[in-house]
Protein backbone atom coordinates (compact mmCIF):
# COMPACT_ATOMS: atom_id res chain seq x y z
CA UNK A 1 0.00 0.00 0.00
CA UNK A 2 1.36 3.42 -0.97
CA UNK A 3 0.13 6.40 1.01
CA UNK A 4 -0.30 9.74 -0.77
CA UNK A 5 -1.10 13.13 0.72
CA UNK A 6 -2.39 16.07 -1.28
CA UNK A 7 -1.22 18.10 -3.05
CA UNK A 8 0.15 15.37 -5.32
CA UNK A 9 3.54 16.02 -6.92
CA UNK A 10 5.07 14.64 -10.11
CA UNK A 11 7.52 12.80 -7.85
CA UNK A 12 4.59 11.13 -6.03
CA UNK A 13 3.30 9.84 -9.36
CA UNK A 14 6.74 8.68 -10.51
CA UNK A 15 6.74 6.16 -7.66
CA UNK A 16 3.46 4.54 -8.80
CA UNK A 17 2.70 1.73 -11.22
CA UNK A 18 -0.51 0.39 -12.68
CA UNK A 19 -2.01 -2.04 -10.19
CA UNK A 20 -0.56 -0.34 -7.10
CA UNK A 21 -2.88 -0.07 -4.14
CA UNK A 22 -2.89 3.44 -2.70
CA UNK A 23 -4.54 5.59 -0.08
CA UNK A 24 -5.12 9.32 -0.46
CA UNK A 25 -5.31 11.73 2.46
CA UNK A 26 -5.70 15.49 2.55
CA UNK A 27 -7.97 17.65 0.41
CA UNK A 28 -9.87 16.21 -2.54
CA UNK A 29 -12.63 17.72 -4.64
CA UNK A 30 -15.81 16.07 -5.83
CA UNK A 31 -17.48 16.55 -9.18
CA UNK A 32 -19.54 14.70 -11.71
CA UNK A 33 -21.96 15.32 -14.61
CA UNK A 34 -23.31 18.68 -13.42
CA UNK A 35 -20.19 20.24 -11.84
CA UNK A 36 -17.23 19.21 -13.98
CA UNK A 37 -18.33 20.86 -17.26
CA UNK A 38 -18.99 24.06 -15.29
CA UNK A 39 -15.52 23.82 -13.73
CA UNK A 40 -14.01 23.58 -17.23
CA UNK A 41 -15.86 26.80 -18.17
CA UNK A 42 -14.35 28.51 -15.12
CA UNK A 43 -10.88 27.28 -16.18
CA UNK A 44 -11.36 28.69 -19.68
CA UNK A 45 -12.38 32.06 -18.16
CA UNK A 46 -9.54 31.93 -15.59
CA UNK A 47 -12.12 32.10 -12.77
CA UNK A 48 -11.40 29.00 -10.66
CA UNK A 49 -11.44 30.22 -7.02
CA UNK A 50 -8.87 27.66 -5.82
CA UNK A 51 -5.62 26.14 -7.07
CA UNK A 52 -5.96 22.90 -9.01
CA UNK A 53 -2.20 22.18 -8.98
CA UNK A 54 -1.59 18.76 -7.50
CA UNK A 55 -5.28 18.24 -6.84
CA UNK A 56 -7.42 15.13 -6.75
CA UNK A 57 -10.99 14.99 -8.10
CA UNK A 58 -13.34 12.15 -7.24
CA UNK A 59 -16.18 11.55 -9.69
CA UNK A 60 -19.00 11.51 -7.17
CA UNK A 61 -21.87 13.48 -5.75
CA UNK A 62 -21.99 14.17 -2.03
CA UNK A 63 -25.09 13.69 0.08
CA UNK A 64 -25.90 12.75 3.64
CA UNK A 65 -26.11 9.17 2.34
CA UNK A 66 -22.40 9.35 1.52
CA UNK A 67 -20.06 9.16 -1.44
CA UNK A 68 -19.33 6.48 -4.00
CA UNK A 69 -17.70 6.82 -7.43
CA UNK A 70 -19.83 7.30 -10.50
CA UNK A 71 -18.97 5.99 -13.96
CA UNK A 72 -16.14 8.14 -15.29
CA UNK A 73 -16.63 7.44 -18.99
CA UNK A 74 -19.87 9.42 -19.18
CA UNK A 75 -19.37 12.17 -21.80
CA UNK A 76 -19.93 14.98 -19.27
CA UNK A 77 -17.15 13.60 -17.05
CA UNK A 78 -14.60 12.03 -19.38
CA UNK A 79 -14.57 15.05 -21.71
CA UNK A 80 -13.38 17.24 -18.82
CA UNK A 81 -10.45 15.05 -17.79
CA UNK A 82 -7.92 16.29 -20.41
CA UNK A 83 -8.54 19.95 -19.58
CA UNK A 84 -8.52 19.33 -15.83
CA UNK A 85 -5.25 17.40 -16.15
CA UNK A 86 -3.71 20.22 -18.21
CA UNK A 87 -4.58 22.59 -15.37
CA UNK A 88 -3.03 20.62 -12.53
CA UNK A 89 -5.35 17.77 -11.54
CA UNK A 90 -3.01 14.83 -10.87
CA UNK A 91 -5.46 12.11 -9.85
CA UNK A 92 -8.97 11.40 -11.15
CA UNK A 93 -10.88 8.88 -9.01
CA UNK A 94 -13.85 7.00 -10.42
CA UNK A 95 -14.87 3.75 -12.04
CA UNK A 96 -15.15 2.29 -15.52
CA UNK A 97 -12.94 2.22 -18.61
CA UNK A 98 -11.73 5.35 -20.37
CA UNK A 99 -11.18 5.99 -24.09
CA UNK A 100 -7.76 5.73 -25.72
CA UNK A 101 -7.71 9.50 -26.27
CA UNK A 102 -8.31 10.15 -22.56
CA UNK A 103 -5.60 7.64 -21.61
CA UNK A 104 -3.23 9.47 -23.97
CA UNK A 105 -4.17 12.85 -22.50
CA UNK A 106 -3.60 11.63 -18.94
CA UNK A 107 -0.17 10.39 -19.99
CA UNK A 108 0.72 13.68 -21.73
CA UNK A 109 -0.25 15.67 -18.63
CA UNK A 110 1.33 13.33 -16.04
CA UNK A 111 -2.05 12.54 -14.48
CA UNK A 112 -3.43 9.17 -13.47
CA UNK A 113 -6.81 7.48 -13.13
CA UNK A 114 -7.53 5.58 -9.92
CA UNK A 115 -10.45 3.25 -9.36
CA UNK A 116 -11.95 2.85 -5.93
CA UNK A 117 -14.56 0.42 -4.67
CA UNK A 118 -18.14 1.73 -4.95
CA UNK A 119 -18.71 1.11 -1.26
CA UNK A 120 -20.41 4.24 0.07
CA UNK A 121 -20.17 3.33 3.75
CA UNK A 122 -16.42 2.68 3.57
CA UNK A 123 -15.65 5.83 1.58
CA UNK A 124 -17.94 8.10 3.59
CA UNK A 125 -16.24 6.96 6.78
CA UNK A 126 -12.98 8.42 5.36
CA UNK A 127 -14.43 11.96 5.06
CA UNK A 128 -13.38 14.18 7.97
CA UNK A 129 -14.76 17.54 6.77
CA UNK A 130 -16.81 18.83 3.84
CA UNK A 131 -17.42 22.26 2.32
CA UNK A 132 -19.40 23.21 -0.78
CA UNK A 133 -17.00 25.28 -2.92
CA UNK A 134 -18.80 25.67 -6.27
CA UNK A 135 -22.20 25.26 -7.93
CA UNK A 136 -24.28 25.04 -4.73
CA UNK A 137 -27.43 25.24 -6.88
CA UNK A 138 -26.63 21.71 -8.15
CA UNK A 139 -27.43 20.21 -4.74
CA UNK A 140 -25.60 16.96 -4.10
CA UNK A 141 -23.92 17.30 -7.52
CA UNK A 142 -22.28 20.58 -6.45
CA UNK A 143 -18.52 20.63 -6.14
CA UNK A 144 -17.32 19.89 -2.62
CA UNK A 145 -13.94 20.22 -0.96
CA UNK A 146 -13.41 17.24 1.33
CA UNK A 147 -10.78 16.61 3.96
CA UNK A 148 -10.22 12.86 3.81
CA UNK A 149 -8.07 10.23 5.42
CA UNK A 150 -6.98 7.08 3.61
CA UNK A 151 -9.38 6.95 0.66
CA UNK A 152 -8.45 3.58 -0.92
CA UNK A 153 -7.84 3.05 -4.59
CA UNK A 154 -5.96 1.13 -7.26
CA UNK A 155 -3.94 2.84 -9.98
CA UNK A 156 -5.84 1.86 -13.14
CA UNK A 157 -4.20 4.12 -15.76
CA UNK A 158 -0.67 5.54 -15.69
CA UNK A 159 1.90 6.33 -18.39
CA UNK A 160 -0.55 5.15 -21.06
CA UNK A 161 -0.81 1.71 -19.45
CA UNK A 162 -4.26 0.41 -18.52
CA UNK A 163 -4.95 -2.21 -15.87
Average pLDDT over residues 119-135: 92
- Confidence bin at 63 (pLDDT 50/70/90): confident
Please report the pLDDT score of residue 121 as a whole number: 82
In tens, the pLDDT along 64-116 reads: 888 889 999 999 999 999 999 999 999 999 999 999 999 999 999 999 999 98
SS3 readout for 7-22: CCCHHHHHCCCCCCEE
Beta strands in the chain, from DSSP E residues, in sequence order: 2-5, 21-31, 55-59, 89-94, 112-115, 127-134, 143-158, 161-162
pLDDT band with cut points at 50, 70 and 90 for residue 60: very high
The rounded mean pLDDT for the chain is: 95
Q: What percent of the chain has pLDDT over 70?
A: 100
DSSP 139: G
Q: Which backbone phi and psi does 10 adopt, to 5 degrees?
A: -60, -35
Amino acid sequence: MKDLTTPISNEDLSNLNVGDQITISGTIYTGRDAALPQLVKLIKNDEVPFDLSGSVIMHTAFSDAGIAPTTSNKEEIESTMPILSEHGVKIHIGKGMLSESTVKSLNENNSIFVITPPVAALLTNKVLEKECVLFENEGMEAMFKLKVENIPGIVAIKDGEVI
